[in-house]
Amino acid sequence: MFINMNPKDTFAQLGSLVGGLMFFWAIFQQYFPYQLRTYLEKYSHRLVNYVYPYIQVRFNDFTGERLMRSEAYSAIQNYLSVNSSMQAKRLKADIVKKGQSLVLSMDDHEEVADVFKGVKLWWASGKNTPKTQSVSFFPTSDERRYYRLTFHKRHRDLIIGPYLKHVLKEGKAIKVRNRQRKLYTNNGAYWSHVVFEHPATFQTLAMEPEKKKEIIDDLIAFSQAEDFYARIGRAWKRGYLLYGPPGTGKSTMIAAMANLLNYDIYDLELTAVKDNTELRRLLIETSSKSIIVIEDIDCSLELTGQRKKEKKKEKKEDQDQEGKDQNKEKPSKEDRDGKGSQVTLSGLLNFIDGLWSACGGERLIVFTTNYKEKLDPALIRKGRMDKHIELSYCGFEAFKVLAKNYLQVEEHSLFPTISNLLGDTKITPADVAEHLMPKTIFGDAEISLNSLVKGLENAKEEEEKKAAEEEAAKKKELLDKKKAEEEEGKKTAEEETKKKELLEKEKSQG
């Protein structure tokens, strides 16, 4: 119709057509009966749906009656932040990880395309402003944002199922990567947190390379095993027991674990927890992708005594349902006085085995102790503490890691001497690290290594002296024992002779 007309006329006609339509719409809204209007809208929608081949799904930023922030919306936002920054013309910028990185996402009323398994689809961002609100250039809290997904109806199953699952999973993973990790500590029954910024990594951890690799592999396998745990019907959780003398790197390893997996840390101080109910509450509040740490578990609770007491009691009462009733455990005197924690071993075990398994996944629980042998075997059996890792005195391989980290030295003429001395002494990585700390502003390796050699020689001397003293004490003990036995023998012999003499005397008289 417009083909042979001159463009000016075409625009004039188009203008009058639009004007006419708007006029008609205004009259329609004013005079058409309300019920008829909704009727008409309903059927016009149906008509459009009938001929329109696309499906649209809308994801609002707030959902539900109480307008909670939608998890799906924020996952999509994260997903699109990666995809849209290459396509959208107007972007929003945000700083994450305490200013360490910048995240770009598409601004309102932008549209980007995505392709999934060869199928094209479109995401558009939008916002609704309440009608009563006056026009403002500044965002207000009443604005409701949303994302709208559009795709062809023949791809319905693919998009509603696998594609959206993929978007939500990716979005959550991006969120975890961008988040600022936290270190939580409990003040009684409540968690408080600070930003977690420990620099320890498995590269900086001094340990035999094979052992280190085994632990890293185990952690990575765990973090990727969501489907496996679901298939075997077990909660996606794993327990680690780190044991060894003080200063061998137990706390450092926990920080390295958190940095490797990008997890938060919940440092649980059991002695500050009043009772099992409080403990339950604290543990339920922990989030997924986290490590729950109970350090020095042997000092935290009467974990050795309580259970043994309880076992005796259970035997007597013929109750084989282990630790079912927490109240059966006798509180210590301190507990009865109301000063100490009334958290019990069975309270802890019940929670690890039972309720906790039902609250989300991807959590590690780590116990540390200097005395593994002091712990109740039930606490550290496989299934509860799946992996037992010993952190021990510094060997030559561990020393080489420290030398590389502290001095940037991989070879040195003093290394053979140090290797021999390390074999003869028991020195912790913490002590070795102290010797390797730069002694001058230039960080001369020779000075630090000589300091270590001296330290090792002194330690060896001390150990030899101690061993000699122990040997002497043992010898003296043996000698004393022998002497005591001899004297005892002498005494018995004398008594025997006396008895004999008395008997003979009686015989001769009688």
Ligand X SMILES: Nc1ncnc2c1ncn2[C@@H]1O[C@H](COP(=O)(O)OP(=O)(O)OP(=O)(O)O)[C@@H](O)[C@H]1O
Which residues make up the interface to ligand X (CB under 6 A)?
205-207, 246-252, 370, 391, 429-430, 433
**Nearer to ligand X (CB atom), residue 252 or residue 306:** 252
Q: How far is the CB of 437 from ligand X (least distance, A)?
A: 10
Q: At what angle do helices 345-353 and 305-317 cross, to 10 degrees?
A: 80
Instruction: Tell me the residue nearest to ligand X as measured from the CB.
Output: 249
Q: How far is the CB of 402 from ligand X (least distance, A)?
A: 6
Look up residue 442 and give its two tokens: 């230039």
Q: How far is the CB of 176 from ligand X (least distance, A)?
A: 25
**Nearer to ligand X (CB atom), residue 272 or residue 430:** 430
Dihedral Cα 431, 433, 436, 439, nearest 10 deg: -80
Please list, residue by residue across 433-457, b when 16 or more beta carbons sit within 10 angstroms of its beta carbon and e when fewer do: bebbeeeeeeeebeebbeebeebbe
The secondary structure element, H or E, covering residue 364 is strand 363-369
CA 499 – CA 350 distance, rounded (Å):
66
CA 415 – CA 421 distance, rounded (Å):
10
Look up residue 26 and give its two tokens: 């205004």
**Nearer to ligand X (CB atom), residue 245 or residue 305:** 245
Q: How far is the CB of 301 from ligand X (least distance, A)?
A: 17
Q: How far is the CB of 212 from ligand X (least distance, A)?
A: 10
3-state SS class at 264: strand
Look up residue 92 and give its two tokens: 């929003």
**Nearer to ligand X (CB atom), residue 171 or residue 429:** 429
Residues 452, 368, 301: CA angle, nearest 5 degrees: 130
Q: How far is the CB of 253 from ligand X (least distance, A)?
A: 7
Instruction: Tell me how far CA of residue 8 lies from CA of 3, 19, 165, 359, in angstroms.
Output: 12, 17, 51, 69
**Nearer to ligand X (CB atom), residue 252 or residue 259:** 252
**Nearer to ligand X (CB atom), residue 171 or residue 247:** 247
**Nearer to ligand X (CB atom), residue 309 or residue 439:** 439
Q: Are 359 and 289 in contact (CB under 8 A)?
A: no
Q: How far is the CB of 67 from ligand X (least distance, A)?
A: 45
For CA atoms 159, 164, 166, 171, the dihedral sign is: positive
**Nearer to ligand X (CB atom), residue 427 or residue 445:** 427
CA distance between the termini of the chain: 159
